[in-house]
Amino acid sequence: MKQGLSRSTILLLLNMIIIVLLIILKGDVFYQWSNIKAVLSLMIYDLLLASAMTFVLVIGGIDLSVGAVVGLTSIIMASLLKNSIPISISLILGMSVAAFIGFCNGFLVSKLKIAPFLVTLATMSVVRGIAIVATKGRQISFASQVNWFTATSRAEIAITNTVSIPVLLIFAIIIVLVLHFLLVYNKNFYQLFYIGQNENVARLSGIRTSYMIIFVYILSACLTCISAIFILSNTKIGFANYSIGAEMRAIAAAVLGGCVMSGGKGSMIGSALGVLLLALVSNGFVLLNGSPSWQQSIIGAILLLTIIFDYINNQYFTKRKRS
């Protein structure tokens, strides 16, 4: 029995519709490579956060602390760089802090059986609070002598005389593709779907569910730290309030891409298409001089309609299969 349209296919169609509408309404501006590059640049950090959220949602969890981890790790690494600590040590220490936060989340969820929503909501508040108190809400800038690190964010690969692609975007796409192949083709990563479908059955079948859950939350935090590293490279500033609300964009992109809150489903490619959809909507509001107040409402409406369509689609084909 054939299944309905996949969420990725639906998203691809939605993206095409938005692109066509923008071409019709603002084709003269939308076609310009500077605008297209702006859309792609909007995706860099959210691609990593959405990938992190995809892993967590696949196992039936959620991670509301991703935005706060970006803020905390950015100020830690910026502070170290400001005090002339070598870049490699600064990044490793920032990644270690992120991994520790991820471990705490995973341990509380897997070992103490506390609801992921409550655990990561608490972690979000604690981590963001520590970052704000430690810096008193001020930004931390570091000297620009770390030339290769800060230059990476501005580096571009020329395709033609007028078209060039940011290196950070290429790095982000490579990371997403690697994670996609791991999730689909690696046996250990594919077990995450079984955990999300039924954790008890997965445990009885020999999967070390507790360790896998802890690993996923650590991976989520590390991907979040990579996003912080990219931001730091671009801005040369650490800030406690970076990525406020980013967790909601990551959840929206992942759910649009095929994840379900109950776990057991998800796609890296689908989540990437979800990020593209959000970036196109944001760009459309800029081009059409739309009110930022309506932007979140439109994104929420698209998310809701996609979920409803997916539900109706699945129910229809389930009934046909039973009949």
The structural domains of the chain, with segments of one domain joined by +, span 7-322
Cα 256 from Cα 169, distance rounded (Å): 21
Q: Would you say 66 and 246 are in contact if contact means Cβ atoms under 8 Å apart?
A: yes
pLDDT in tens, the chain (323 residues): 345 556 777 778 888 888 888 888 887 888 888 888 888 888 999 999 999 999 999 999 999 999 999 999 999 999 999 998 999 999 999 999 999 999 999 999 999 999 999 999 999 999 999 999 999 989 999 876 567 788 888 889 888 888 889 999 999 999 999 999 999 999 999 999 999 999 999 999 999 999 999 999 999 999 999 999 999 999 899 999 999 989 999 999 999 888 988 899 999 999 999 999 999 988 888 888 877 777 778 878 877 877 787 677 777 766 776 66
Give me the residue label for tokens 């406020």.
Answer: 244
Q: CA triplet 235, 152, 280: central angle to 5 degrees?
A: 70
Do you know the residue count of the chain? 323
* CATH class of residue range 7-322: mainly alpha
What residues contact 199, with CB distance under 8 A and at least 6 apart?
59, 60, 209
**For residue 287, which of 20, 27, 12, 11 has the smallest C-alpha distance?**
27
Q: pTM for this one?
A: 0.91
**For residue 53, which of 153, 171, 176 has the smallest C-alpha distance?**
176
Cα 74 from Cα 243, distance rounded (Å): 11
pLDDT computed for residue 5 by the predictor: 59
What residues contact 305, with CB distance under 8 A and at least 6 apart?
none
* Residue 140 β-bridge partners: 238
Radius of gyration of the chain (CA): 20
Q: Would you say 71 and 242 are in contact if contact means Cβ atoms under 8 Å apart?
A: yes
Helices assigned H by DSSP within the chain: 7-30, 33-58, 66-82, 87-110, 116-135, 147-154, 167-185, 187-197, 199-204, 209-235, 246-256, 268-287, 292-322
Cα 103 from Cα 109, distance rounded (Å): 10
Cα 273 from Cα 17, distance rounded (Å): 13
pLDDT computed for residue 2 by the predictor: 46
Q: Tell me if residue 140 falls in helix, strand or coil.
A: strand
